Amino acid sequence: MISFLTPTGFNSFSEYWHFASAREFRDIDQHQRVIYAKTRLERLGDLLVYPFMKIVDHAMQNIRNPLVIISITLTAIVAVTILFYPEEFMRVIARAIPMADQIKPWMIKAALYTALETTIVGIGLRTFGRLNPSGDLWRLWAPVPREIIPIVIGTQIV
């Protein structure tokens, strides 16, 4: 359990966010990926968040590619359209795929809501698992100067 009376090991919210959302951690001296035993919570969070993080990581690595920019824009437009107009979306899809007429609009909303909430819970579980004071990652993170640095999503390592 994390005590609120002890220092947290973070000097700013930005530092905390990099720690929580890091794709991986690198050793400062050896420039190699840090291998550590993940807690159960962190492994569960990684599992729940994997589909979203994999897509975001790939998109951020290729964000300068015009095709990626167009695909992200179109995906956002379609997602918002589905969210706000599920009935009209289903009518258009049912014209192309007659079997899709059996899907009700509330099912689409429920699927989007479940995917969003699963991702949020996964991020929370992964972060909570990383904050375990007796965990290997925390022992590497806590000392100052730090022995490791977080590699944020979208960073290309050469």
- Within a domain: 158: no
Give the residue from 55, 51, 45 showing the smallest Cα distance to 120. 45
pLDDT at 43: 93
pLDDT at 67: 93
pLDDT at 51: 92
Rounded to whole angstroms, the Cα distance separating 2 from 34 reads: 23
Tokens 């014209």 locate to 95
pTM: 0.75
Rounded to whole angstroms, the Cα distance separating 2 from 19 reads: 16
| Domain span including residue 81 | 26-151
Rounded to whole angstroms, the Cα distance separating 25 from 46 reads: 14
Two structure tokens written together for 149: 């640095």
Domain count, the chain: 1
- Within a domain: 3: no
- Within a domain: 85: yes
Low-confidence ranges of the chain (pLDDT < 50): 1-6
- Within a domain: 96: yes
pLDDT at 141: 83
DSSP H helical ranges for 12-133:
13-21, 40-61, 66-84, 86-96, 105-130
Q: What is the CA radius of gyration of the chain?
A: 20
Residue pair 28/149 in contact by the 8 Å Cβ criterion = yes
- Within a domain: 125: yes
- Within a domain: 156: no
pLDDT at 114: 94
pLDDT at 4: 44
- Within a domain: 30: yes
- Within a domain: 140: yes
